[in-house]
Every structure is written in C-alpha cells, then in structure tokens.
Amino acid sequence: MNLKNDLTEGSIGSKIINFTLPLLLGNFFQQAYNVVDSIVVGRFIGKQALAAVGINFPILFLMVSLIMGIALGISIIISQYFGAKQTQNIRIAVDTAYIVLIFSALIVTAIGLIFGKYILLLIKTPEDIFPSALIYLKIIFIGMFFTFGYNGLSALLRGIGDSRTPTVLLVIATIINIILDLIFVIYFKMGISGVAIATVISQAISFIVGIAISLKKKLPIAPRIKGITFSFDIFIKSVNLGIPTGVQQVLVSLGFMALTRIVNGFGTNAIAAFTAAGRIDTFASMPIMSFGMAITTFVAQNMGANRIDRVKEGVKKTFIYSASISTFLGLLIIIFSKYLLLIFTKDQQVQKIGQDYIRIVASFYFFFSVMFTFNGALRGAGDTIVPMFNTLIALWILRVPISYLLSRKFGTSGIWWGIPIAWFFGAILAFYYYKKGNWQKKKIIQNT
C-alpha cells in the first residue's frame, strides 16, 4: 500500500487539499481541451463551426455516462478496499473494471456511429451547422475506445488515492491537443475534422502513456494478462453503485440536450453564446467539481476504515473550501465577462447573450457547491441512489420546465434562470439527505 495516498490518516484538511489540487489542475486541463477547440474553431473557422462543436457535447456526454458510472462504482469499491487494506480484492476489482470498459467502449462506438445522425435531428440541430456537427461527432466516436480507456484509468487511479498521475496525463494530452489543433486547422485547413482528429490522437497518446506509467510503477491498477480475474460479485456491486451514478449522468446529459434544444430555437447566435459562456462557466466552477470528486474518494476510504468521525469532518471542511473559492471566482468572471467572451468570438450579439448567461449563472455558485459536496459525500459512502433522484428532481422536474416556460416570456435570459433555480432546490435536497444520516449504513465491503 502507498501510505502517501492513504486518506484515512493524517491531517484531514491537508489530505483533502493535497488530493484536490491535482484534481483541480486536471480539471483545468480537461476543460482546456474543450476551450482550445472552441477558440480555434470560433476564431479560425467561424461561429457556425463553434455552435457545431458545442451542440455535440451533451450527445457525447450521454453516450459515455452510463458506463463511466459503472467505472466510478468500481472506483468507490476500490477506495473502500484500499481503506480496509485489502490488496487482493483491489486487484480483482481492477481486472473486472478493464474487462467491462473494453467491451462497453466497442458497444458505445457502434451505437454512436449508427444513431448519431438521428440524435442530431432529434435535438433540432439547425441546418447550417448539421453537416459539421455530424462530421465532428463521427470522428469522436471512432476514438471512443481511448476516451473510455483514459477516463477509466483515471477513475481507478483516484480510487487508490492517486490524483497526480491523471493530472500528468491530462497535461500531456492537452499540450498535444493544442499543437495538433493549430497544425490541422490553421496549417492544413482541415476545418472541424482537424479539431476532432486532434482530440482523438491526444487522448490515445494520454491513455497509452498512462498504461505505461502504471506498469512501470507496478501500481495495483496496472492492467495484466496473466491471472486476470473477472469477479461477477464485484461487477454486480459496481453496477448497483454505478448504475444510479450513470443514470444521474445520463439525466444530466439529457437535461443538457433538452436545454440545448430550447437554446437551438433561438438560433445560431444563442447556440454560440451558450457554448462560449458555458466554457467560461465550467472553468469557474471547477473547484466545486474537484472538491466533489475529492470528497467521494475521501469518504470511501474512510468508510472502508470505519472512520465516520473523519468522514464528517472531511465533508465539513470540503464544503467550506468549495463554497468560498467558487463564490470568489464567480464574482471575478462576472466582472470580466466581456473580456473573457472576446477570447471566443468578436460577434457583439453573441457576446451580449453570453454576458447575460454569466451574470445569471455565476451569481449562484454557492448552491452548486452545496449540491456537489453533499452528493459527492453520499456517493463515496455507497449511497448513490439519493444523488440520482436529487438530479432527477433538480433537472427534470425543475430546470428544464422552468427554463422552457421562462424562455417563452424572457427569451434566452429565461433559459439561464432555470439553472440556478434548480441548483437551489438540489442543494436543499442533498444537504437534507446527508444530515439525515442513512448513508452511514451504506458501507459496501466487509472488513476482514
């Protein structure tokens, strides 16, 4: 066992911050992927191409959500085994994860290539961006094996408390992606195809390097051929844990698609603004997402070690860190929204709509941090059903209907207001279920 990655001992605040910082840096580079694509496309190809890239995000997110939920389920199991110091069970869980990821990647690739066109039609993709959107979508799906491989490997690394190696891989991938974007789009004039190909190549290299690192360091999550074991019991446990998380992510993706469908009704300017402002919004909310990921691993390891006292203190500290930093960043992007949007586009109408989005959404990051922190804690404890229903209520009972109704009266501003309203109620639900305390009985593994 690598004690450096053991979150069950030592200063709680230091452990959480040290685990979160690489995640935050990793999330930064993950979003840099998307932002570089958007900048290159928006500045060197045009706003139609920018909208085409943006409109594909919820579709791609949908296709990988369910299986990545299962990967997260296995990651939670591995974290609890790690906390309980059960090395052999970690190895079996890792073998199971790789087998599931390989077969799932092949299935998702086939589904995406066959039905991608019809999904674009379903969400009413405007005719002027449809061809570009379809080309981008097909190329990304061809490289889905590497997407699954990288994300699955990163989840397993985080499960054993290693948040640094996934960050190294993201740095490598992002640098390669930036270089290839510029070469393919500016030099070879490959258009949106070049952006998609650059993304696939960079993810492939990142995944291969990650496998090499894990083998060289002889990490317990390194793949193996000899003695590989598939555990049906661990698979079922991971499904029971991961399906609710996967369904939650699917609901988020479908919610994005529904929101995108509403935005699409307001034309290309609205779609481009939604894409550009959404990129900025994602950067600013990264601390929330990073702390949410960190508390999941922290809670899982300490549940495995039967340290409920550390779990509660860790959740409290994580919330304070997350809410404070994200609120500060929200104020910053509101103040500088005009200049940040200039990075993506010079179109004044797109900028105006984008600024409106940022002012409304970024003002309410506090509620987003409440929701993410407590949902992450519940997930780490093994209580993944509650976050799923929380998402169902916040998204489908609140955000989508409210955004639609308000858009009829207030235009795109009404769409944006549906987002923080949903966060507010989602935060209340997550906090309520955490305080109720049933998560303390949800431990997955048995201590030996």
* Nearest-angstrom CA–CA distance, 290 and 313: 18
313 token code pair: 């203190």
pLDDT at 73 over 70: yes
| Structural domain spans, the chain | 3-441
pLDDT at 200: 93
pLDDT at 445: 63
* Nearest-angstrom CA–CA distance, 29 and 168: 10
pLDDT at 366 over 90: yes
What Cα–Cα distance (Å) separates residue 283 from each residue in 185, 202, 250?
24, 21, 22
Task: Pick 221 or 70 by higher pLDDT.
Answer: 221
> By the 8 A CB rule, do 410 and 358 touch?
no
Per-range mean pLDDT, top range of 43-52, 56-65, 124-133: 124-133
Return the minimum-mean-pLDDT range out of 33-42, 130-139, 145-154, 296-305. Answer: 33-42
Quickly count: other Cβ atoms within 10 Å of residue 152's Cβ.
27
What is the mean predicted confidence (pLDDT) over 408-422?
92
Residue 56 banded pLDDT, cuts 50, 70, 90 = confident
Residue 4 banded pLDDT, cuts 50, 70, 90 = low
User: Helices marked H in 84-129 — which ranges?
Assistant: 87-122
Q: Global pTM?
A: 0.76
For 261-303, what is each residue's pLDDT tens digit? 898 888 888 888 888 888 888 888 889 988 998 999 899 888 8
DSSP assignment letter at 221? T
Mean pLDDT computed over every residue of the chain: 86
